[in-house]
């Protein structure tokens, strides 16, 4: 999971495995595999960075949910 910020400012965790696409419209909109959408404050580049960091941590066996998105 990655930590993100809802458009209105509330932090939340999102299962990165469910992300289908991320786009700037100009606000950042994440489309999930079930076609639901979430608007976040982070840029698409930051979302991608956090997903990559999350996946690297999983592969290395060092993923800790409380540090996700840091």
| pLDDT tens per residue, range 9-59 | 999 999 999 999 999 999 999 999 999 999 999 999 999 999 999 999 988
Q: Is residue 70 part of a domain?
A: no
Please report whether residue 69 resides in a domain: no
**pLDDT at position 65, please?**
64
Spatial neighbors of 44 by CB under 8 A, at least 6 apart, are 22, 23, 24, 28
37-40 and 28-32: which strand pairing? Answer: antiparallel
Using CA of residue 35, residue 38, residue 39, residue 41, what is the dihedral sign?
negative
The total number of structural domains that make up the chain: 1
DSSP 3-state of 4: strand
Distances from the Cα of 38 to the Cαs of 8, 22, 33, in angstroms?
11, 10, 12
Question: Domain of 50?
Answer: 2-62
């Amino acid at each position: 999971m990655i930590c993100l910020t809802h458009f209105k400012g509330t932090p939340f965790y999102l299962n990165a495995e469910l992300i289908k696409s991320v786009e700037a419209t100009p606000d950042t909109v994440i489309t999930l595999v079930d076609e639901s959408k979430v608007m976040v404050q982070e840029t698409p580049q930051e979302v991608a960075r956090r997903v990559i960091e999350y996946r690297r941590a999983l592969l290395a066996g060092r993923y800790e949910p409380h540090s996700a998105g840091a």
